Structure 1
Amino acid sequence: MIRWIWAFLDRPAQRFDDCATFWSTVTATQLSARRGANDEFLTLMPEPALFAEAGVKMQAVTGLGGVHLDLDVDDIPAAVRAALDLDAELVANHPDYAVLRSPGGQMFCLTPSGRPKGTPAPAVRAPDGRMSRLDRVCLDIGPTDYDAEAGFWKSLTGWEFRHGRSPEFAWLRPAEQLPVHLSLRRLGEDRPASAHVDVSAGDIDATAAWHQSLGATLVRRHEHSIVLSDPGDARYCVIARDPNGI
């Protein structure tokens, strides 16, 4: 059973500070102390007065970066065996966590559950009063791999699977209150699976404009979403969805 899920934003080391400032601002969080052998990790911490638990971490990496998932579980060896039985690949097995790759190529980690988690952070109020929340990781999957990859994540999480209003989208929603849900997007071309984050917003135009004022760049507009890139050139989406609906 997945006790908690983390959206892990991997960002280029040379732009990491700008990315950390950007994501801290748009999620109304504080940057934790840096940790790791090279001070490469940090957590976006909700304001203490909210009595809420963090759900987003960041890592400075070489190369372009991206997004991966950390899944907190009670028994890491058992979870690794279950993932391998579902055709995942073990990339690294550390004493206190494991790094794996899904059948389609998406990296994720199995991490110790630790202390019980509480309530996810609430939606964020922008300076103009509009609400938004980073609440999903979208898995981008090529058409050839889609059925196998979707089946893998359905089985691994045990979450409810639902089709979206567009045929290329589906959702995985946990029964428990967790900070991040998953969506699955069927791409129009084959390539290894990857991921990006989605920000739910009541007003996508206002939220996108706020993000652009903080250093994001507009990529394209759709009817119900806006694609942006952050200061590290990583793409993400602002989605027309109730940010209080997690």
Structure 2
Amino acid sequence: MHHSRLCTLVLDCQDIDLETAAQFWSRALGKSIESTDEDGDGKYASLKTHDDELRILLQRVDHPSRVHLDIEADDVDAEADRLEQLGAKRIGFVKRWWVMEAPTGHRFCVVRRQGADFGPHLNRWD
């Protein structure tokens, strides 16, 4: 048995510095900037959201800009296995998460639990 839930809206940003991107999305979405360099490597910025909202993460990427979703799980491999059984494909393992592709062609990630608490919208998979 494991748990998972939708946790993050990720704005993949190509050819723009994250501070500029964060300023635009902060103003566009009415959310303050939490960090313009979340991990100290210049690859991630974040906007401040409430505990009951999706996290909003900006990620500097080499591929064309797009939006993708993150699904957090207490067992990343078990969740990737479950999603493969539904027709998704594993594209690759990066640091601590799986990049997946849905049968629809959309890319998404299965990541470790992002907060101390999963919150009220948790799926339980046996």
TM-score, normalising length: structure 1? 0.42
What are the within-5 Å matches in structure 2 for residues 141-152 of structure 1? 141-144=13-16, 146-152=18-24
Residue number in structure 1 paired with 2:124: none
Q: CA deviation at 1:170?
A: 2.0
SS of residue paired to 2:95: coil
Residue number in structure 1 paired with 2:123: none
SS of residue paired to 2:84: helix
1:171 to 46, 56, 59: 46
The structure number with the bigger radius of gyration is: 1
Residue number in structure 2 paired with 1:186: 60
Aligned-partner residue type, residue 198 of structure 1: D
1:215 to 73, 78, 87: 87
Q: CA deviation at 1:211?
A: 0.6
For residues 147 and 159 of structure 1, the distance between their equivalents in structure 2, rounded to whole angstroms, comes to: 12
Figure out how many residues of one structure are paired with residues of the other and give that number: 115
Q: Which runs of 5+ in 1 are unaligned?
A: 1-128
Residue number in structure 2 paired with 1:159: 32
Contact 2:22 2:33 in 1 (8 A): no
What are the within-5 Å matches in structure 2 for residues 12-31 of structure 1? none
Contact 1:138 1:197 in 2 (8 A): yes
Q: Percent identity?
A: 25
Aligned-partner residue type, residue 140 of structure 1: D
SS of residue paired to 1:139: strand
Contact 1:160 1:175 in 2 (8 A): no
Residue number in structure 2 paired with 1:140: 12
SS of residue paired to 1:212: helix
In structure 2, relative to structure 1, the CA distance for the partners of 1:144 and 1:198 (3 Å cut) is same
Structure 1 consecutive aligned stretches of length 4 or more whose deviation exceeds 4 Å: none
Contact 2:17 2:60 in 1 (8 A): no
For residues 39 and 74 of structure 2, the distance between their equivalents in structure 1, rounded to whole angstroms, comes to: 18
Q: CA deviation at 1:154?
A: 1.9
Residue number in structure 2 paired with 1:238: 110
Contact 1:159 1:175 in 2 (8 A): no
For residues 175 and 141 of structure 1, the distance between their equivalents in structure 2, rounded to whole angstroms, comes to: 23
For residues 173 and 209 of structure 1, the distance between their equivalents in structure 2, rounded to whole angstroms, comes to: 32
SS of residue paired to 1:207: helix
In structure 2, relative to structure 1, the CA distance for the partners of 1:177 and 1:227 (3 Å cut) is same
For residues 210 and 164 of structure 1, the distance between their equivalents in structure 2, rounded to whole angstroms, comes to: 30
Q: Deviations over 1:142-173 (max 9, x none)?
A: 13353322111122322341243362112223
In structure 2, relative to structure 1, the CA distance for the partners of 1:239 and 1:209 (3 Å cut) is same
For residues 165 and 144 of structure 1, the distance between their equivalents in structure 2, rounded to whole angstroms, comes to: 18
